[in-house]
């Protein structure tokens, strides 16, 4: 991007808001400062002036561009005020992320980090924290404090004014505007939020200490590991010895009790799955940190473009889909409305087939079940086999297919499928023989990335390759990062045409609609999701699956359904207040 390109817009508005952010609720704008970059015209508005306006005090037409740092925050204020969103968006946070993705940044990727990266002086961190505390305090503010807050808001606009000319040479305008377009979609999705059964949520939060003890009493009865809520290492060692179970150890000689180790070992010893789930629940149950607004919606920052592949990276404790899976049973449509969960079928497999142009892999993806089709090609199952008739073989070939995209070796694959290393090596050899074009392509991707020092998606999201970058990262990047591009494009189209997208979830979307319009909305959503994949993958279209959740049902649970049943059984019997609008028993959709 050159200075002439930015000046191709008639107006370039640098914008920043200060706002309060109640937990789980829509923001409350406090003030706004906007400066037109070409003329220096500056607008400072306090909250009373903002609330009295139906439109922003600056142009949002196609010949103007809106510049911000983490623009979804500004757009959340637009939505709270009922203002329309601008036609063109240049988000310097997103462009700084893609320009430095893969580098170690000692000052982070916030606006202060970007200023430090370019050697531009900025407000001291302490001053910034003090001013944010003043804003979040909620007032009332004196006239002097109002002036201080407006000055603080303007300091971020001045920072944008200094950053823009330093970053111009890094920016590819069309792709940057596309990424800015997604930040509008993010603000809309964050505003919609995820509907939660608020009454049950409050009851669970209040009863959680008692529920923990009851879960331990029921699940630990067969293991005798816990003392109160404490996991006794010595008792677990005794259990392993008594049941002749081998377990990995740390260099110190102690048992390796990391979550990943427990997950792997539970696949080898299925009898440990309930204990593994219990440890996971007790460690991660933080309902008190889940932000649920007064309207019963889980809202948090979706943190777009935070991962190296450009995927969203919301908080593990504030975004319900990142919490233990049984908590998803709290997701429920309100009366008269319905939800649908739509995801891409075998997205990473399909992307690998498309980008590598491996025709056999593409044919396998287009089959009714790609993993069974893979097993058939390998002559591991009869030609009339199905997922129902050969679940064990399907699982093995699924793990193999997914594993190769992460550069998984035979030792790890053997552990994942519960077979010998020889069997795992044979599976990998079969994959090499059946899909040679894929393997040539993936090796070329790795080689090219090391030679050029970068790797990019179809739409230009970039990762800078370092000497320490593993080949596995590079092998997996095209599938993950282009998968993110597909979902971003779908989110843009869907939010722009009025579909209520509650949240993006990796390669899936949760949407909401009036009950009578849900099936039509699902059809529209699937069409746009599949169309987005065809745009990114040069005509190759990914399939989508949909689960519909009608009132009074809840989000379906699979992995930890037993835990959900136990918790609800406890509530039905013991909770002091179970007067929910829905009984706690039929929470798991069959």
CB atoms within 10 A of CB 538: 10
Q: What is the pLDDT of residue 425?
A: 92
Q: Both 172 and 128 in a single domain?
A: yes
What pLDDT band is residue 578 in, cutting at 50, 70 and 90? very low
Q: Is 197 helix (H, G, I), strand (E, B) or coil?
A: coil
Report yes or no on 419 lying in a domain: yes
* CB of 266 closer than 8 Å to CB of 276: yes
Select from 176, 191, 206 the last residue of a domain.
191
Q: Select from 15, 130, 143 the least CA-distant residue to 76.
A: 15
pLDDT at 580 over 60: no
The CATH number that applies at residue 488 is: 3.30.70.370
Question: With 80 as the cut, is the pLDDT of residue 5 above it?
Answer: no
The pLDDT confidence band at residue 588, using thresholds 50, 70 and 90, is: very low
Of the CA atoms within 13 Å of residue 74, those in its CB half-sphere come to 29
| Residues 54 and 147 grouped into a single domain | yes
Same domain, 111 and 184: yes
Q: Does residue 294 fall inside a structural domain?
A: no
Domain end marker among 191, 226, 258: 191
Whether 530 maps to a domain, the answer reads: yes
- Give the pLDDT score at 286: 66
Q: Same domain for 29 and 105?
A: yes
- Helix residue ranges per DSSP H, 410-560: 410-417, 421-434, 436-452, 471-496, 518-536
- Residues near 357 by beta carbon (within 8 Å), at least 6 away in sequence: 437, 441
Lowest mean pLDDT among 62-66, 223-227, 402-406: 402-406
Confidence of residue 583 (pLDDT cuts 50, 70, 90): very low
pLDDT digits 0-9 by tens, 178-220: 999 999 999 999 999 999 999 999 888 888 888 888 889 989 9
What's the length of the chain? 590
Does a structural domain hold residue 123?
yes
Tell me: do 411 and 518 sit in the same domain: no
Band of the pLDDT at 452, cuts 50, 70, 90?
A: very high
Confirm whether 118 is domain-assigned: yes
- Yes or no: say if 67 and 15 are a contact pair by the CB < 8 Å rule: yes
- 233 has pLDDT over 70: yes
Whether the CB-CB separation of 21 and 156 falls below 8 Å is answered with no
- Report the pLDDT averaged over residues 513-539: 98
Torsion 127-128-131-132 (CA) sign = negative
**Is residue 338 within 8 Å of 548, Cβ to Cβ?**
yes
How much is the average pLDDT of 330-352? 96
**For the CA atoms of 434, 436, 442, 445, what is the dihedral angle to 10 degrees?**
-160
Mean pLDDT along residues 344-366: 96
In terms of domains, do 12 and 67 share one?
Answer: yes
Q: What is the mean pLDDT of residues 385-399?
A: 93
Lowest mean pLDDT among 22-26, 175-179, 563-567: 563-567
Average pLDDT over residues 292-319: 95
| 356 in the same domain as 322 | no
Beta bridge partners of 545: 343
Please provide the DSSP assignment of 38-96 as one string: TT--EEEEEHHHHHT-SS-SS--STTEEEEESSHHHHHHHHHHHTPPPPS-EEEHHHHH
Q: What is the pLDDT of residues 130-181, one digit of tens each?
A: 999 999 998 899 999 999 999 999 999 999 999 999 999 999 999 999 999 9
Q: How confident is the model at residue 590 (pLDDT cuts 50, 70, 90)?
A: very low
Q: Considering the entire predicted model, what is its pTM? A: 0.91
Report how far apart the first and last C-alpha atoms of the chain are (Å, whole number): 54
Strands 454-456 and 462-464: antiparallel
- Kindly state the helix (H) or strand (E) to which residue 545 belongs, with its residue range: strand 544-550
Task: Please choose, from the candidates 295, 102, 72, the residue with its C-alpha nearest in 3D space to the C-alpha of residue 189.
Answer: 72
- Which range, 224-238, 279-293, 394-408, has the best average confidence (pLDDT)? 224-238
DSSP count for the chain of H helices, then E strands: 22, 15
For residue 465, being part of any structural domain is answered with: no
Q: Identify the domain boundary among 191, 221, 246.
A: 191
Residues 354 and 502 in one domain: no
What percent of the chain stands above pLDDT 90? 78
pLDDT tens for each residue of 127-141: 999 999 999 998 899
Residue 583 lies in a domain: no
> 384: pLDDT confidence band, cut at 50, 70 and 90?
very high
**Secondary structure of residue 532 in the 3-state scheme:** helix
pLDDT value for 589: 38
Query: Is the same domain home to 91 and 107?
Result: yes
Domain span at residue 317? Answer: 304-345+481-573
DSSP string, 272-311: GHHHHHHHHHHHH--GGGS-B-TTSEE-----TT-STTS-
Asked if residue 524 and residue 395 are part of one domain, the reply reads no
Measured distance CA(34)–CA(564) in Å, rounded: 49
Provide the number of structural domains found in the chain: 4
Report percent pLDDT > 70 for the chain. 95
**Average pLDDT score, the chain:** 92
- The CATH code of the domain that includes 179 is 3.30.420.10
């Amino acid at each position: 991007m050159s200075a002439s390109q930015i000046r191709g817009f008639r107006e370039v508005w640098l914008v920043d808001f200060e706002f309060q952010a109640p937990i789980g609720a829509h923001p409350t704008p406090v003030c706004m400062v906007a400066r037109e970059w070409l003329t220096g015209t500056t607008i400072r508005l306090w909250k009373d002036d903002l609330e009295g306006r139906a439109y922003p005090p600056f142009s949002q037409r196609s010949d103007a561009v809106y510049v911000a740092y983490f623009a979804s925050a500004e757009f959340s204020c637009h939505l709270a005020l009922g203002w329309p969103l601008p036609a063109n968006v240049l988000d310097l946070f997103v462009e700084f992320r893609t320009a430095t993705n893969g580098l170690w940044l000692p000052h982070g990727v916030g606006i202060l980090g970007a200023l430090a990266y370019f050697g531009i002086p900025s407000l001291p961190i302490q001053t910034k924290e003090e001013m944010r505390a003043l804003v979040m305090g909620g007032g009332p503010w004196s006239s002097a404090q109002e002036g201080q807050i407006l000055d603080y808001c303007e300091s971020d606009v001045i920072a944008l004014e200094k950053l823009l000319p330093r970053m111009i040479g890094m920016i590819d305008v069309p792709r940057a505007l596309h990424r800015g377009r997604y930040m509008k979609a993010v603000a809309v999705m964050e505003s919609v939020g995820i509907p939660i059964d608020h009454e049950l949520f409050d009851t669970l939060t209040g009863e959680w200490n008692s529920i923990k003890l009851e879960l331990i009493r029921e699940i630990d009865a067969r293991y005798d590991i816990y003392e109160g809520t404490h996991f006794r290492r010595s008792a677990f060692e005794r259990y392993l010895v008594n049941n002749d179970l081998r377990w990995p150890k740390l260099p110190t000689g102690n048992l390796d009790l990391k979550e990943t180790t427990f997950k792997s070992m539970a696949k080898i010893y299925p009898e440990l799955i309930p204990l593994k789930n219990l440890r996971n629940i007790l460690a991660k149950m933080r309902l008190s940190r889940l932000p649920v607004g007064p309207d019963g919606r889980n809202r948090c920052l979706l943190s777009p473009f935070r991962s190296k592949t450009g995927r969203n990276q919301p908080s593990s404790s504030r975004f319900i889909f990142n919490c233990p899976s049984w908590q998803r049973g709290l997701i429920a449509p309100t009366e008269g409305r319905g939800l649908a969960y739509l995801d891409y079928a075998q997205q990473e497999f399909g992307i690998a087939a498309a980008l590598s142009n491996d025709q056999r892999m593409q044919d396998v993806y287009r089959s009714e079940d790609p993993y069974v089709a893979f097993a058939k090609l390998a002559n591991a199952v009869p030609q009339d086999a199905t997922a129902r008739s050969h679940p064990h073989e399907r699982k093995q070939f699924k793990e193999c297919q997914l594993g190769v995209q992460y550069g998984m070796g035979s030792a790890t694959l053997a552990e994942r499928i519960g077979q010998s290393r020889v069997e795992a090596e044979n599976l990998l050899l079969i994959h090499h023989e059946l899909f040679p074009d894929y393997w040539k392509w993936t090796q070329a991707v790795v080689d090219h990335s090391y030679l050029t020092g970068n790797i990019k998606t179809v739409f230009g999201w970039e990762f800078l390759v370092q000497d320490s970058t593993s080949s596995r990262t590079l092998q997996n990047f095209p599938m993950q990062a282009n998968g993110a591009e597909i979902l971003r494009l779908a989110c843009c189209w869907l939010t722009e045409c009025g579909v209520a997208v509650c949240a993006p979830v990796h390669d899936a979307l949760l949407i909401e609609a009036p009950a009578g319009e849900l099936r039509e909305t699902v059809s529209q959503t699937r069409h746009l999701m599949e169309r987005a994949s065809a745009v990114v993958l040069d005509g190759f279209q990914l399939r989508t699956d949909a689960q519909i959740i009608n009132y009074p049902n809840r989000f379906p649970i699979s992995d930890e359904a037993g835990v959900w049943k136990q918790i609800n059984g406890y509530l039905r019997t013991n909770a002091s207040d179970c007067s929910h609008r829905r009984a706690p028993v039929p929470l798991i959709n069959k």
